[in-house]
Amino acid sequence: MKPKIVVGLGSCGIAAGASKVYNALEGLMEDNGKSFTLGRTSCVGMCYREPLVEVIDENGSNVYGDVDEERAGEIVKRHLINKEIVEEWLVVSEKGEASEDAFFEGQVKIALRNCGHIDPESIDDYIGKDGYSALRKIASGEIGREQIIPMVIESGLRGRGGGGFPTGLKWKFALANESDRKYIICNADEGDPGAFMDRSLLEGDPHSVLEGMIIAALAINAVEGVIYCRAEYPLAIKRLNIAIDQARRAGFLGSNILGIENFSFDIYVKEGAGAFVCGEETALIASVEGKRGMPYKKPPFPAESGLWRRPTSINNVETFANIPWIIDRGPSSYAAFGTEKSRGTKVFALTGKIKHGGLVEVPMGITLKDVVFKMGGGIQNNKEFKAVQMGGPSGGCIPASLSDTIIDFDSVTKTGAIMGSGGMVVMDETTCMVDVAKFFLDFTYKESCGKCTFCRIGTKRMLEILTRICDGEGHEEDLEQLEDLAGQIRDSSLCGLGQTAPNPVLTTLRYFRDECMAHITDKRCPAGVCTKLLTYEVIPENCTGCTVCAKNCPVDAISGERKELHLIDQGLCTRCGICFTKCTFDAIKKY
């Protein structure tokens, strides 16, 4: 068998230059008489080392990171022609001796089981990894159609989109409501960092989501499915449509699927405009129907009256991706992972001040600390770990002092954060928590649909207060007003966006109140982030009088002769920080 080179062509890889690497390898394949084959896959999770190239030959599988066109040529020459493992670029090896093998230690891949291992545009690759075997078991009668919901309930799978409602119960409610037409909706429009996880799953293993939706349709007797995906994910949409066409041709979608009695089901993709509020299921339904994406009051719940006022079951991408594995392997296999009330695994999108940014899938019950320091590799530049923001823009900030918190729905909720769809933003000592709260509140304020007064106006008032505090114009009573407004917004908003919007502020007040007070009473930002609270001074013993700071100061606030000590006029200084960034002698300090 010829050696094979596989290039990671997910959005993260393409952004890093993987398409150029692929094109270079195509030329090299021709130049070398097609002595090797070339394939593509998607994100394996190791986004921080993209572009990634896997070489599969008699030495097994070896993955190289940070590959550019020049390195691609060297890999062909040294690895394939000279039979030499290129150790300096090796990140993952089958023998477990590469530099980044530790990234995968402790991970359990269920939802991400095929991502980075198959060509996402090949149904044959998916079938070769036991794809559609769960559906075939149901079609053959090995698993009864009526067993699907009890199996999902037994597995303990809870919705991975944020609320954590038991998936099997949601399906049971939809089944119980009689109708001539029912619907399945896949919510692929969540707008937090966890949406990166949804996008990567759709780009890397679209058939697993389709199979999950087909099984859900069998469970509740649905006739049509909708994947609601934001238009900003063109590669995910392209690969979804390819997968849907392939599934139709193979008989997994359409009329009389696999000969199952009275079962016809099809799926189409609805492109959303990227409104965060459409992550809420009733707003999503309104958008699919061509209306403005705004939530409506429940009850009735979608399981009773959803899309086109018919019973509808809505789950997110990760939830559906788990379903085939559960049906194929059995619910007890899934329930073996996790904690009593939070079974299975969870995918997280790691970002922020962390060394190993990307996607990880871990068993429920693992600690935050393990995710940050084992899979995530710790904090960039060896700074001090300060906090993790979990749950997306309406999540909460968990301090480093609670890093032993286990990851399950109840434990995370107790901290004031939420599981959300899997966003995990890591922060270090240089992060200002007041500024972080302001940043996320600015997002939720702008994304509010405006239907509820407290969400529309209350978030604006909270944002104004936080802005004043960051500008050094805050007062101690502002903190009480923030807490009061947060409670009213949480209790008076119709949907989850408004109800959880205050979370970043509330957790900041709960765990970082001293940092808030420093802004108010000392007019000081301990992290050195809030521009209007910073002071820049020249360090006399370091200043060489090179005049670079003075030449670059936009307001002429720095004076001094060449080769003499320079001084900053605090009355003229606008705190822009240009002098700090331009000085090459570490002669400017900020505090």
pLDDT tens-digit map of 322-353: 999 999 999 999 999 999 999 999 999 999 99
Give mean pLDDT, residues 360-364. 96
Q: Which of residues 275, 307, 334 is at a domain's end? A: 334
Three-state DSSP class for 90?
Answer: strand
Give mean pLDDT, residues 214-236. 95
Q: Which residue has the tokens 């300096």?
A: 88
Three-state DSSP class for 34?
Answer: coil
pLDDT tens, residue by residue, 6-19: 999 999 999 999 99
Q: Is the pLDDT of residue 176 over 60?
A: yes
What's the rounded Cα separation, in Å, for the pair 53 and 21? 9
Range of the domain at 552: 534-590
> Quick one: which of 465, 467, 466, 445 has its CA closest to 456?
445
End-to-end CA distance of the chain: 63
pLDDT tens, residue by residue, 42-91: 999 999 999 999 999 988 999 999 999 999 999 999 999 999 999 999 99
Give mean pLDDT, residues 458-470. 96
Three-state DSSP class for 476?
Answer: coil
- The per-residue pLDDT for 195 is 64
Quick one: tokens of 480? 């009480």
- The per-residue pLDDT for 193 is 47
CATH assignment at residue 568? 3.30.70.20
Give mean pLDDT, residues 248-253. 97
Structural domain includes residue 454: yes
> Quick one: which of 228, 129, 218, 236 has its CA closest to 182?
218
- The per-residue pLDDT for 191 is 55
Mean pLDDT of all residues in the chain?
94
Structural domain includes residue 325: yes
Q: Which residue has the tokens 């901290």?
A: 415
Structural domain includes residue 111: no
Give mean pLDDT, residues 141-149. 97
Quick one: tokens of 531? 């521009």
- The predicted model scores a pTM of 0.92
Residue 446 pLDDT grade (very low, low, confident, very high; cuts 50, 70, 90): very high
Q: Do 151 and 295 reside in the same domain of the chain?
A: yes
Q: Is the pLDDT of residue 98 over 80?
A: no
Q: Phi/psi of residue 255, each to 5°?
A: -90, 140
Q: Is the pLDDT of residue 396 over 60?
A: yes
Quick one: tokens of 329? 């392997």
Q: Is the pLDDT of residue 572 over 50?
A: yes
> Quick one: which of 246, 234, 217 has its CA closest to 313?
217
Burial (Cβ within 10 Å: 0-12, 13-18, ≥19) of residue 151: buried
Q: Do 510 and 573 reside in the same domain of the chain?
A: no
Structural domain includes residue 490: yes
Q: Which of residues 306, 334, 362 is at a domain's end? A: 334
Structural domain includes residue 112: no
Handedness of CA 361, 366, 368, 370 (dihedral sign): negative
- Give the whole-number percent of the chain exceeding pLDDT 90: 86
Q: Is the pLDDT of residue 392 over 50?
A: yes
Q: Is the pLDDT of residue 155 over 50?
A: yes
Q: Which of residues 104, 139, 170 is at a domain's end? A: 104
CATH assignment at residue 170? 3.40.50.11540
- The per-residue pLDDT for 487 is 94
Q: Do 156 and 61 reside in the same domain of the chain?
A: no
Q: Is the pLDDT of residue 145 over 50?
A: yes
Neighbours of 146 (CB within 10 A): 10
